[in-house]
Amino acid sequence: MGFEERTGARNTKPIMTTAVRVWIWLSAWLCGAGWVLSAAHQLNARGYLLALVPTAAVLAWQLRKTKLPSPVIKFQKLPRKMLRRFRRLAPLLFLALTFVSLVGALAACPQNGDTNAYRLPRVLQWLTGNGWYWIHTADSRMNIAANGYEWLFAPLVLVFRTDRWIHLPNLLSFLLLPGLVFSVLRRMGVRPRVAWWWMWLLPTGWCFIQQACSTVNDLLGAVYVLAAVDFALRARESKSVRDVWLSLLAAALMTGVKQTNLPLLLPWFIAVWPSLPLLLRQPGSSGAVTLLALLASFVPMAWFNWKYTGSWMGFPKIANAPDLTGQPLTWGAQETIHSPFWGLLGNMFCLPLQNLCPPFFPLAPAWNHLMQRFLLTPLGAHFAPFEMFGHLSRTMSDNAGIGVGITVLILISLIWWGHRTIGAGPPDRFLQMLRWAPWLALLVFMAKVVTYGNARTVAPYYALLLPWLLTRQGQTSLTRRRWWQVLVLLVMLFSVVFMTYARGRELIPGTVVTWLLDKYPHAKYLSVLNNYYLAQASLAARKDFAHRRILEKEKVIGYATTSGGEEPTISLPLGSRQVRRVLATDTVDQLRSEGIHYVIVEQLALQSANQTLSDWLARYDGTLVDELSFVVTPGEPLRQLYLVRISPAASIPSP
């Protein structure tokens, strides 16, 4: 019996189980506290401290009724246990990935486009307004998108006044992922040896390792859905109502992170259905947990979306209809107007394409041009509602799926299906239904969601899709093959090497690359790397641009944008000043009445309003103070920022 099978019986180690339980309760508390404090207009440090008082009282009352194990820990044996646990290559490579992710996160602030465009800005707006509110903005995502991740890092921004630590929820989730994958696979009928290999392999998928030190929220949803199913299956064995509570909270948190996770409620409901009567054992406590689950779920956002837009998803029923700010929706309107058949067919093409794309794809521009031409054909017109249909990136990006390596290993497992093993027991109808449910949920997702990067968006689905395949005959014998184990380790090793390169760029000064490029001007690799450093230099220049001496005393600064990401840099140190989004429908009197003397104007905002800078200056009685050319994405064309001073209103002479 191999090492992985000997450890298979101990798939529910107390330290891992306790960590998951604490994380679920903490996440639910932070989400619930965010909504409750917002309702009381106390989303501030004092509000969070006051919220801790009843929480501590309830926790103390629960601990009195709970028998705790002995806290004796033999510290002298701890190093030996850790070395023994990571003496095999698979867990050691996962540990290396964790270390690289941590170093990368500490070296640089998260620069994900969505984070800078709406996730972090709306948290800053809420903290400034002492609670959640419908923000005056042209970017609908700041209002309608699920905010489960934002409630987790709002206290971090409030306390530290920086975005340096807002990646922590993802990093903690990444550490919990292998144990949860193993536990769920085992409870769904996967053999110990097979589950052991995949518990280390799947978390090294590109969509997971790219998010381990960023603020993209698909990894968080993957951990929540695994915890929801895991505790539902635990409750079926233990008959414990506490496991049902945790399953309910984890499922609610999953929906609160992103609306596209809603179809995964189907496999969760099947898993928890036999244990739902346990809630009646403690109806009072179960009612309180259900209320907390509602606050942690997408229900509050669905209510506000319906209130302000007439649609629970936040998208008007008519494409390009204006929201209450008077501006056309800049995101999401077209993704809901399409035929489910063509949505399903388009995703059947896009999902494998994105997962099989190599990490470096120099032919991406030519391929994307081909896709644009295809959309002009009668057949391609059916896929026009897709956001950037068939688009691929030149290098691995935040929109990557599980990656070509793991995809190939899954295809090998499909080919190995016919190899039989001995000892297969009678089929369990409950588990069979549970294994098929995630595939049905995926079909619903594919029929409805047509945004770009769906291979990343389905990250919470991947782990639950595997049991249908890994419980088939032959998977145990496949994992015993030396060549298969070597392939797994090579795939994991490549992930470590690539992430070392991706995060290691933060540690190399840009002057080194400039010197090498001068010495070897025809090296294309150095040219691509230099584009990355130009983007980093642009970020520093934008920070200086937004913090000129003339702006030091300004408490409110205007920001004319559609979906730009300059608000975090304008707000530095975070929370020190208020940023007010300036829409094309605003008047100069409105800006003056709110005490706005300076506005940072984006070139893209002028283009979306069909205005020139001269038109904007004339309308708002403004004077151009300075301008800046910058790069957001390496290799893209330059963009422009303008700093404009709004002239004060002319005083009316007394008679």
Report the SS3 class of residue 226.
helix
Q: Residues 152, 170: contact at Cβ < 8 Å?
A: no
575: left (phi over 0), alpha (psi -120 to 50) or beta: left
Count Cα atoms within 13 angstroms, Cβ side, for 359: 17
For 539-646, CATH number?
3.40.190.10
Report the C-alpha gap between 202 and 178 in whole angstroms.
8
Q: Which element (helix H / strand E) includes 133?
A: none
Report the C-alpha gap between 225 and 463 in whole angstroms.
9
- Cβ atoms within 10 A of the Cβ of 288, count? 13
What does the longest C-alpha to C-alpha distance in the chain come to?
103
Alpha carbon of residue 373 to chain centroid: 32
Q: What is the pLDDT of residue 537?
A: 65
Q: What is the pLDDT of residue 332?
A: 43
Q: How does strand 556-560 pair with strand 598-602?
A: parallel
Hey, what are 473's tokens?
Answer: 């005959």
Q: What is the pLDDT of residue 512?
A: 64
Report the C-alpha gap between 400 and 185 in whole angstroms.
24
Residue 277: Cβ-neighbour burial (10 angstroms; 0-12, 13-18, 19+): exposed
Report the C-alpha gap between 581 and 561 in whole angstroms.
7
Q: How far is CA 567 from CA 124, 127, 136, 546, 556, in A?
A: 9, 14, 14, 9, 12
Q: Residues 218, 176: contact at Cβ < 8 Å?
A: no
Q: What is the pLDDT of residue 265?
A: 97
- Cβ atoms within 10 A of the Cβ of 247, count? 26
**φ and ψ at residue 2, rounded to 5 degrees:** -75, 170
Q: What is the 3-state secondary structure (H, E, C) of 421-479?
A: CCCCCCCCHHHHHHHHHHHHHHHHHHHHCCCCCHHHHCHHHHHHHCHHHHCCCCHHHHH
Domain boundaries, the chain: 340-499, 509-536, 539-646
Mean pLDDT by 10 residues, the chain (655 residues): 40 71 94 96 92 81 59 52 73 91 74 83 92 92 92 92 88 94 94 94 93 88 97 93 96 95 96 95 93 96 93 64 39 54 93 90 89 92 89 81 93 75 60 94 93 91 95 87 95 90 66 62 62 66 75 88 84 82 90 91 88 90 88 73 84 42
Report the SS3 class of residue 319.
coil
Q: Which element (helix H / strand E) includes 598?
A: strand 598-602
The residue written with tokens 């290999």 in the block is 197
Count Cα atoms within 13 angstroms, Cβ side, for 605: 28
Q: Residues 293, 300: contact at Cβ < 8 Å?
A: no
pTM score, whole prediction: 0.89
Q: What is the pLDDT of residue 1?
A: 36
Q: How does strand 639-646 pair with strand 622-630?
A: antiparallel
- Cβ atoms within 10 A of the Cβ of 540, count? 12
Report the C-alpha gap between 598 and 624 in whole angstroms.
10
Instruction: Please say whether the dihedral angle defined by the alpha carbons of residues 182, 185, 189 and 194, taken in this order, is positive or negative.
Output: negative
Strand order in the sheet with 598-602: 578-582, 556-560, 598-602, 639-646, 622-630
Alpha carbon of residue 288 to chain centroid: 28
Residue 567's identity, in one-letter code, is: E
